[in-house]
């Protein structure tokens, strides 16, 4: 790229941004409908069958290898921050399984005719800074020349095979705890429209770059049964995955769900992403309850680097909330409960 050219805004090069550019759940399910599951080995103990956040391979009776990958197009224009958000989001899947990250590999796709080397270098540096902070340094990776900027990680971690926080382990009687407020998708839509305030932008960055580190410790706590991270499919989408995986009914108490106040105000003004509508179309057959259009948009809002959704025994809930607070997740809150019944989500 000639030195006289000014690099374009990163978000202008992408048709979507962050986890909002994921395939809709129903589209993905249709694509994978005729694909056989991978459980051909007794030691491959988790595959895609329960919509968990990572695959798991049992190494021995006390050690399991947890593997995942996540990548997306830019959600912000600052390259270093984009790298940090993408890496935080990718590592979240390891924490959501209750494992400890050990190392990672970079996934890099960049339009080299549009972005100068220093911009790409900054994206990688942002991701590396987060990976190192998580104890999962970037040990290599792969890069290609593509039309849109893409960055993410393959993340690997270790956990105890009997203590992993799988979707299938949620139990009737559990309470549900959400680790971060909703509204990141709405913030990102406002950013693209250049109507996001500096304070809202700062809030967005603070939460999307906060690692879901409580997950590793939660897996060792008695009474903590299941977890997932709420990302591109929204709270109702990822809640539905947990419901299906465990064969239970989730009840989401909409008035208890934490939401960024700025995002709620923007939602009331009609700001939302296209992904929220796709998310709703994908889950509405499983979801019941009364919701306004704004409430539905918030509950289906695609989260980039969102919070953990944890199912735990009621007597453990205060300890779980304290563990979140100890890691800086002060907005964690009880948002519902798990009941027996066919796989479903009821909004109350």
Token pair for residue 54?
Answer: 């990572």
| Residue 308 backbone phi and psi in degrees, to 5 | -80, 140
The alpha carbon of 173 is separated from its chain's Cα centroid by a whole number of angstroms, namely 25
Token pair for residue 279?
Answer: 């998310």
- Beta strand pairing call for 287-288 and 344-347: parallel
Q: Which residue has the tokens 């393959």?
A: 154
| Cα maximum dimension of the chain | 64
Active-site residue identified among 19, 21, 300, 312 = 19
Q: Which residue has the tokens 């129903």?
A: 26
What DSSP string runs through 111-145? -TTTS-HHHHHHHHHHHHHHHHHTT--EEEEEEEE
Q: Is 19 a catalytic residue?
A: yes
- Judge contact between 56 and 45, C-beta under 8 A: yes
138/295 Cα distance (integer angstroms): 39
265/325 Cα distance (integer angstroms): 26
Distant-in-sequence, close-in-space partners of 194: CB < 8 Å, separation ≥ 6: none
Long-range contacts of 324-330, Cβ-Cβ distance < 8 Å, separation of 24 or more: 324/177, 324/179, 324/214, 326/214, 327/213, 327/214, 328/210, 329/179, 329/180, 329/210, 329/214
The alpha carbon of 85 is separated from its chain's Cα centroid by a whole number of angstroms, namely 11
Token pair for residue 194?
Answer: 């250049």
Catalytic positions, please? 19
């Amino acid at each position: 790229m000639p030195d006289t050219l000014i690099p374009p805004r990163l978000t202008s090069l992408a048709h979507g941004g962050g986890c909002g550019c994921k395939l809709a759940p129903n589209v993905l399910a249709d694509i994978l409908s005729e694909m056989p599951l991978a459980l051909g080995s007794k030691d491959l103990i988790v595959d895609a069958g329960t919509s968990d956040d990572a695959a798991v391979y049992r190494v021995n009776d006390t050690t399991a290898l947890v593997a995942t990958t996540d990548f997306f197009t830019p959600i912000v224009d600052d390259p270093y921050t984009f790298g940090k958000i993408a890496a935080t989001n990718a590592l979240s899947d390891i924490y959501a399984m209750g494992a400890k990250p050990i190392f990672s590999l970079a996934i890099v796709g960049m339009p080299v005719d549009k972005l100068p080397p220093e911009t790409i270098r900054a994206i990688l540096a942002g991701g590396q800074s987060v990976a190192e902070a998580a104890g999962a340094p970037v040990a290599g990776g792969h890069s290609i020349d593509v039309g849109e900027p893409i960055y993410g990680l393959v993340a690997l971690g270790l956990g105890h095979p009997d203590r992993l926080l799988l979707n299938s382990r949620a139990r009737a009687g559990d309470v549900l705890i959400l680790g971060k407020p909703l509204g990141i998708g709405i913030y990102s839509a406002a950013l693209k429209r250049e109507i996001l305030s500096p304070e809202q932008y700062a809030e967005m960055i603070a939460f999307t770059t906060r690692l879901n580190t409580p997950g590793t410790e939660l897996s060792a706590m008695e009474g903590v049964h299941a977890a997932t991270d709420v990302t591109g499919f929204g709270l109702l989408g990822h809640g539905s995955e947990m419901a299906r995986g465990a064969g239970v009914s989730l009840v989401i108490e909409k008035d208890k769900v934490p939401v960024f106040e700025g995002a709620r105000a923007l939602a009331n003004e009609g700001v939302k992403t296209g992904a929220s509508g796709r998310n709703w179309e994908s889950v509405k057959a499983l979801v019941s309850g009364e919701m306004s259009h704004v409430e539905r948009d918030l509950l289906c809002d695609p989260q980039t680097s969102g919070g953990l959704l944890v199912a735990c025994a009621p007597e453990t809930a205060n300890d779980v909330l304290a563990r979140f607070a100890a890691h800086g997740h002060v907005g964690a809150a009880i948002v519902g409960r798990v009941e027996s019944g066919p796989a479903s989500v009821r909004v109350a």
